[in-house]
Amino acid sequence: MIEKRQFYIDGAWVDALEGRDHQVIDPATEEPCAVIALGGQADTDAAVAAAKRALPGWMATPVADRIALVEKLLAVYLERAEEMAQAMTLEMGAPIALSRASQVGAGSFHLKNFIDAAKTFEFDKAFSEAFPDTRMIHEAVGVCALITPWNWPMNQVTLKVGAAAVAGCTMIMKPSEESPLSAMLFAEMMDAAGFPKGVFNLVNGDGVGVGTQLSGHADVDMVSFTGSTRAGRAISKTAAETLKRVHLELGGKGANLIFADADDKAVKRGVLHMMQNSGQSCNAPSRMMVEAPIYDRVVEEAAAVAQSVTVGAPSEDGRHIGPVVNAVQYDKIQGLIETGIKEGARLVAGGPGRPEGFNKGFYVRPTVFADVTPDMTIAREEIFGPVLSIMKFESEEEAVEIANDTPYGLTNYVQSTDTERRHRLARQLRSGMVEMNGKSRAPGAPFGGMKQSGNGREAGILGIHDFLEIKAVSGWAAE
């Protein structure tokens, strides 16, 4: 049993002032694997006070020096990559191969992109050639609360910490209580990199406790939150009392539009993307929408691909999927699978219960429903598990209508070799991101959504922007 009951505050590991024990559950065994402390108001106040004290000095630190510390952080991160992979596999059930390649890799990828972006970012520049006497200064927002989720721990931690650090903000991070071990290891890395005390602080806690305390704290200038839309609403309401800036990266219900002229790998690509990380990704392509002439063939192929996806223990090497994170999530997914059956969707792969060979652990069968209609619950709710809904459309116009008929707007996908069609759809689909034909976004390209998928953008230059205020100064030139 791992015991980690301390918080990282003001450059030191300190005992919790008001902490209560919390067991971290290994989702593969349903047994406790660690004990941490969940903080209280006194712990939150101590962390905020440390960040507030450190802010003037960190803001005044030259940008080049801030970037150099992030470069040191990246080096430490890479040195301890295997420890990080093992921590995430234990706490949230990602298969070790996925942890090593994608879960850990996402963190190093984002840190490198922030370093590159910051080196070209003009933090201080003339407003224009015509008006050089007016100066635009990009200044840190201030003390920032960073509230991160369990599903892609280092992806979200580095997207927030890397941007805030180069922007000159000081931070209090509250990771998910489901995945605290990787976050505490990251705090060790921040310390080893040599960040000044108080610049980065970590307090473990739950959303109702530390999360609410940070969101409403008078000395916190910004909250950057990734998680559920429900929690995002609560944070926004709490933060409104102090009019602080709020950045939200929330849920999604991505549509994957597959046209008759899609490439041969489009269906397999879409199913495997849906199943990655056991379906626990906000940008998962969970609604596969298929043009009528190829619908039957696609359903058959999608079912076969899902049936080929194996489920295995996170500790075992290989390209399988692991369990979902906890009992609450498992029960929610099982309930939605049952709802899909009751509402008339046609089950073509997977279904209720654990996969064959598992009698414990939060394992879910890779599941595919066909003949799903837009009014069905599984077409509207974010399931956050390895469950794919296949829908039929007759025309491009109908596809757009169905795709946009959701409160979410994070990522949509298009599979078509018709360039003009792709260009039309890119403008018509209401989402912060549109990915086409399996092409990944460029390094540093912005990540974020619209509607109830949140606001603000993460990664690269626009991610740094989110942690900056713009100050307009006139009369800059000498008299």
Q: Which residues are catalytic?
A: 249, 282
Phi, psi (deg, nearest 5) at residue 353:
85, 175
Instruction: Give the CB-side neighbour count of residue 401, counting CA atoms within 13 A.
Output: 9
Please, are residues 384 and 325 in contact by the beta-carbon 8 Å criterion? no
Nearby residues of 404 by Cβ (< 8 Å), 6 or more positions away: 428, 429, 430
Q: How many CB atoms lie within 10 A of CB 326?
A: 18
CA 474 → CA 140, 210, 352, distances in Å?
20, 41, 65
Dist CA 404 CA 392 (whole Å): 15
Q: Count of CB atoms within 10 A of residue 159's CB?
A: 29
Q: In what order do the strands lie in the sheet with 135-140?
A: 124-126, 135-140, 468-473
**Residue 285 and residue 255 in contact, taking contact as beta carbons nearer than 8 Å:** yes
CA distance 303 to 286: 14
Residue 301: CB atoms within 10 Å: 17
List the Cα angle 153/156/157 in 5-degree steps.
80
d(CA 249, CA 458): 9
Listed in sequence order, the DSSP H helices in 365-418 are 377-380, 396-404
Calculate the CA dihedral of residues 122, 127, 130, 132 and round it to 10 degrees: -80
**Which residue type sits at 266?**
A
Secondary structure (3-state) at 137: strand
Round to whole Å and give the CA distance between 277 and 274: 8
Neighbour count for residue 465 (Cβ, 10 Å): 17
Find the helix or strand (DSSP H, E) in which 182 lies: helix 180-193
Residue in this structure with the two tokens 């194996």, named with its chain if needed: 310
Q: How many CB atoms lie within 10 A of CB 338?
A: 12
For residue 21, what is the enclosing H or E element? Answer: strand 20-26
Determine the 3-state secondary structure of 287 from DSSP.
strand
User: What are the residues facing 353 on neighbouring strands?
Assistant: none
